[in-house]
Amino acid sequence: MGRNKLSNEEKTRALTLLKEGASVIRVAAEVNVTRMAIYNLKKAVESLPPGTVPPRKPGSGAPKKTSPRTDKIMRREVLNDPAITAAELKKNHPALLGNVSVRTIQHRLQISLKLPTRRAAKKPLLTEAMKKKRLSFCKRYRQWTPEQWKKVMFSDESTFRLVRMASTTVRRPSDVSRYHPKYTVKTVKHPDSVMVWGGFSGNKGRGGLYFLPKNVTMKGANYIEVLRDHLLVPYAIHECEVFMQDSAPAHRSKVVQKFLTDNNIPVLDWPGNSPDLNPIENAWNEMKKAIAKKRPTNINELKQALTKLWVEMDLSYFTKLATSMPKRIGMVIQYKGNMTKY
C-alpha cells in the first residue's frame, strides 16, 4: 500500500505527469503513493497559481526544542572541541539545553548540523620543531618531478603480527549478548611477530626484503649487513640515484653513514616522525590487510605469506606510490607541516 505523504520533489514530479496527461492511477504508481494522495494534490492546486507546488501543512507534532541560536552555539562548541559529547554540551549549557534530551542533541548534531560522530584517525604527535623540519624538507624538494622520485629507493621497517584486530565494530541483534563469541574481537597479550625491512623504487618496483631474526633489534652493525645484502644490488639494478631511509637511530649511526658514503649512495635528509611522506608505508598497510585475511598460524607461514605478497605486488603499484611524492609534499606544505591523510 502506498504512502499518503509526498515530498516537494514528489509533488513536482506528480504534477508534471498529470500535466502531461497521465492518469491518477499511473501517477500514484510512479510516485509510490496512494491514489487519494494524488487526488488531494490535484484538489490543492486548483486554487493556486499555475506552476505552484502546494506547501506542506503545519505538522501536528511537538515544536523543536532547539532554536537556530541554540544550534549555532552547539555547532561552534563542536568545531572548537570535536571530541565533546552530547551529554557534555547539555551540561555546559543548562539554560539552553536543560530541557532537551541527550538523544535529541545527538540527532540535531548528526542530521541538522551535519556533524556525525566518526572514528578519529590515529596520527603521530608532532612538535613544532618536527613541523618546521617537515616543512623545510618539503619546500626543498617540491620542485622534484615524478621522474626524479622514481629514481629514489624508498625503504623502511615494519612489524607484522600473527594476530591482527580486524575491526572493533560489529552489528549485533539486540537480543544477543555482546559477549557471544561471534560478536567479540579476539586478542592475544603477546602475539608472535616479525620485523621486516624492505625497499622499492618507482623504476623497477620491489627491491630487497629481509626478516630480522627473533628478538633482534635493528642496530648499526646488523643494518649495514641488511644494506650490503639487500640494497646494493637492487639499488644498481633499479638505476636509483638517491636512497630514502627514516631517521631511526640505527640509520643515523656513523658506521651506517660511512658505509653509504663509501658506496656512493646519497641519502635524503628525511624528517623524523613522517610516515605520511614515506610511500612504502602504504605498501606495508596493504600487506597487513592481506595478512589479516590469510590468518597465518605460525611465524614460518607469516614469512611465506609476506614474501608471496611482496613478490606479487605489481610494478605499476610501486610506480604509483613513488610518483605520489609531489602530492604528499604539497599537502604537507598546505597543512603547514601537520600530518596529512597519507
CATH of the domain at 189: 3.30.420.10
**Collapsed DSSP state (helix, strand, coil) of residue 211:** strand
Confidence of residue 186 (pLDDT cuts 50, 70, 90): low
What's the pLDDT score for residue 188? 63
Q: Is residue 164 part of a domain?
A: yes
**Residue whose cell numbers read 629481509:** 210
Listed residue (114, 106, 117, 113) closest to 82, CA to CA: 117
pLDDT in tens, 86-145: 999 999 999 888 889 999 999 989 888 888 888 887 888 889 999 999 999 999 999 999
Residue pair 325/154 in contact (Cβ under 8 Å)? The answer is no
Q: Is residue 65 part of a domain?
A: no
pLDDT in tens, 292-303: 888 888 899 999
For residues 215 and 149, membership in a common domain is answered with yes
Each residue of 217-241: b (16+ CB within 10 Å) or e?
ebebeebbebbeebbeebbeebebe
Q: Is residue 119 part of a domain?
A: no
C-alpha cell at 94: 543548562
Residue 56 confidence (pLDDT) above 80: no
Cα–Cα distance for residue pair 28/38, rounded to 1 Å: 6
Q: Is residue 38 part of a domain?
A: yes
For residues 273 and 164, membership in a common domain is answered with yes
What's the pLDDT score for residue 201? 97
Cα–Cα distance for residue pair 262/56, rounded to 1 Å: 80
For residues 208 and 158, membership in a common domain is answered with yes
**Secondary element (H or E) of residue 209:** strand 205-211
196: β partners: 158, 211
What's the pLDDT score for residue 51? 77
For residues 97 and 146, membership in a common domain is answered with no
CATH of the domain at 15: 1.10.10
**Alpha carbon 99 to its chain's center:** 37
For residues 145 and 30, membership in a common domain is answered with no
The total number of structural domains in the chain stands at 3
Range with the poorest average pLDDT among 58-72, 210-224, 238-252, 277-291? 58-72
For residues 239 and 288, membership in a common domain is answered with yes
For residues 135 and 107, membership in a common domain is answered with no
**Between 287 and 20, where is the model more confident?**
287
Cα–Cα distance for residue pair 75/337, rounded to 1 Å: 27
Residue 200 confidence (pLDDT) above 90: yes
For residues 105 and 48, membership in a common domain is answered with no
Region 39-67: mean pLDDT is 78
What's the pLDDT score for residue 308? 95
For residues 322 and 274, membership in a common domain is answered with yes
For residues 285 and 166, membership in a common domain is answered with yes
Rg, C-alpha atoms of the chain: 30
Listed residue (52, 48, 94, 88) closest to 70, CA to CA: 94
For residues 164 and 20, membership in a common domain is answered with no
Residue pair 245/155 in contact (Cβ under 8 Å)? The answer is yes
Question: Cα dist. 138→6, 197, 327, 336 in Å?
Answer: 55, 25, 10, 10
Cα–Cα distance for residue pair 277/327, rounded to 1 Å: 10
What's the pLDDT score for residue 50? 80
C-alpha cell at 190: 603477546
Residue 30 confidence (pLDDT) above 60: yes
Per residue, the 3-state secondary structure of 236-293, as one string, reads HHCCCCEEECCCCHHHHCHHHHHHHHHCCCCECCCCCCCCCCCCHHHHHHHHHHHHHH
**Alpha carbon 141 to its chain's center:** 26
Region 47-53: mean pLDDT is 81
Range with the poorest average pLDDT among 81-95, 305-319, 323-337? 81-95
Q: Is residue 100 part of a domain?
A: yes
For residues 83 and 182, membership in a common domain is answered with no
Residue pair 11/54 in contact (Cβ under 8 Å)? The answer is yes
DSSP state letter for 46: T
Q: Is residue 118 part of a domain?
A: no
Sheet with 205-211, edge to edge strand ranges: 205-211, 193-201, 152-161, 242-244
Q: Is residue 330 part of a domain?
A: yes
The percentage of the chain sitting over the pLDDT mark of 90, rounded to a whole number, equals 52
C-alpha cell at 180: 557471544
Confidence of residue 19 (pLDDT cuts 50, 70, 90): confident
Q: Is residue 70 part of a domain?
A: no
- Residue 86 belongs to what domain range? 77-112
